[in-house]
Chains A and B, each alone.
Chain A
């Protein structure tokens, strides 16, 4: 694990998965949906929750808890964060969206070999918030699934 303190200001969207708090770059966030009907797609990986109809557009929704192997899998997810990854809209199921936060000196970059999708940590008002790179997480999970599922 390596650390580097940064002072570049930026905004993040924070949300909860169980008791833990996470953040993503607000720049990639398109919108936040409340409770919505998710339609399952058979034979897809566990972490791919299904699809939603977003004003006539079909968007895949991923179960973020399952993707980062959180033990707390209680089905209390109430929000879907829609982000844009490589020009495609993608949804991530979270327990609760908390706030948009401006970050200055509170951010420390991190590299964790076993969880390379965690890019840093934010420490603010006694809160420890992990900063996620959703694109890295998604690419890693999908590649592992395709390789495991096909060549297994």
Chain B
């Protein structure tokens, strides 16, 4: 299947398509800042990890679900995670903030729902044309449902929602989109940023006070101790640096005929990388996706109580709490599903950027 060159934000969601006049680069690097049509809105920090779905309203049900979960005496991390997943309809805090800023600065934010005709061939190409036409016309798309990854793979029925920042009227936007062939219907409504759910907080910030005892592996990264739930660990390996290769800035390791991408937690957590020939990696797995977390050392297995990190750390999504150890020290508990999901998004972006050179 031919891929169309959508450009994503640094964490994998949409944020436009490459339009020569709009200053986008076809060989955009992960995490690099992008110049946008309207300047300030689309810097590198666009948090899109949980932008795949969104829905209007439902604030009460969202709050109720969190309350219901944390009021259970001993919910497990997985139970909390399940509730979070079911709440994935929440719109990102960042999209709300960007929308509010845009509205404050005199722009309009529209939510456009586009239906393609039934059984249209090359749905992805059709939506690509929509993106291109909208942005060529001086408007900016900040969010899509489904994500651009799913649009590229044609993982959608026939409906796509877009959030557009513009100075044009709804009818002008409607007309821009409906002039493209194979579009069955278009509805463009003003988005007021009111009544929308905000982003789901990190697990660590909503853990109940009476949290469960969890079996963990304690590892050393830099001068701190971290905990990884044993249930997420597939195996522990020590790697010779000769067996670690780098492809498209991603380190990979070959382990028993398996190629496993490595995420160096020493870099990720901003520690000084210790230059040693031997590397330790914890191979973790989530929903059949494996990756190796490179750490300085394995310490020991332990049983720990995981405590909430509190509201202050609502954006620290890499952690699902703090483990209180026997010597009263704290080991931050890594949120493996989040890390694996985020890392796999980075891998997808790298692969797709590589493919863009061939188009």
Enumerate chain A interface residues (CB-CB to B < 8 A). Answer: 37, 39-44, 48, 51-53, 56-60, 88, 90, 142, 146-152
Partner of A150 from B93, B309, B316 at Cβ < 8 Å: B93
A151 & B307 in contact (Cβ 8 Å cutoff)? no
Find chain A residues with CB under 8 A from B271 CB: 42
B101 within 8 Å of A (CB atoms)? yes
Find chain B residues with CB under 8 A from A52 CB: 330
Using CB atoms, name the residue of chain B closest to A148: B45
Find chain B residues with CB under 8 A from A42 CB: 268-271, 318, 332
Cα-based distance from A62 to B133 in the complex (angstroms): 48
A51 & B330 in contact (Cβ 8 Å cutoff)? yes
B44 & A44 in contact (Cβ 8 Å cutoff)? no
Find chain B residues with CB under 8 A from A43 CB: 269-270, 316, 318
Enumerate chain B interface residues (CB-CB to A < 8 A). Answer: 41, 43-47, 93-94, 97-98, 101, 224, 268-271, 305, 307-313, 315-316, 318-319, 322, 324, 328-330, 332
Find chain B residues with CB under 8 A from A59 CB: 310
Partner of A56 from B47, B224, B269, B324 at Cβ < 8 Å: B324
Cα-based distance from A68 to B332 in the complex (angstroms): 28
Using CB atoms, name the residue of chain A closest to B305: A56
Known contacts A42-B268, A43-B318; A53 and B328 CB within 8 A of each other = yes
List, sorted by A's number, 8 A–B pairs whose CB atoms are closer than 8 Å: A37-B329, A52-B330, A53-B329, A58-B308, A148-B45, A151-B43, A151-B45, A152-B43
A53 & B330 in contact (Cβ 8 Å cutoff)? yes
Using CB atoms, name the residue of chain A closest to B41: A151
A146 & B315 in contact (Cβ 8 Å cutoff)? yes
Q: Count A-B pairs with CB separation below 8 Å.
A: 79
Find chain B residues with CB under 8 A from A39 CB: 224, 322, 329-330, 332
**Which of B93, B308, B330 has the largest number of chain A CB atoms within 10 A?**
B330
Find chain B residues with CB under 8 A from A147 CB: 97
Find chain B residues with CB under 8 A from A152 CB: 43-45
**Which of B224, B305, B310 has the largest number of chain A CB atoms within 10 A?**
B310
A58 & B309 in contact (Cβ 8 Å cutoff)? yes
- Ranked 10 nearest A-B pairs via Cβ: A42-B269, A152-B45, A152-B43, A60-B312, A58-B322, A39-B330, A150-B94, A150-B45, A58-B307, A150-B47
Partner of A41 from B43, B46, B305, B313 at Cβ < 8 Å: B313
B329 & A142 in contact (Cβ 8 Å cutoff)? no
CB distance from A55 to the nearest CB of B (A): 9
Known contacts A43-B316, A152-B44; A51 and B309 CB within 8 A of each other = yes
B313 & A44 in contact (Cβ 8 Å cutoff)? yes
Cα-based distance from A53 to B94 in the complex (angstroms): 31
Known contacts A41-B313, A43-B318, A151-B43; A56 and B307 CB within 8 A of each other = yes
Using CB atoms, name the residue of chain B closest to A39: B330
**Which of A41, A56, A146 has the largest number of chain B CB atoms within 10 A?**
A41
Cα-based distance from A46 to B313 in the complex (angstroms): 14
Cα-based distance from A60 to B305 in the complex (angstroms): 18
Cα-based distance from A26 to B271 in the complex (angstroms): 38
B224 & A149 in contact (Cβ 8 Å cutoff)? no
CB distance from A38 to the nearest CB of B (A): 9
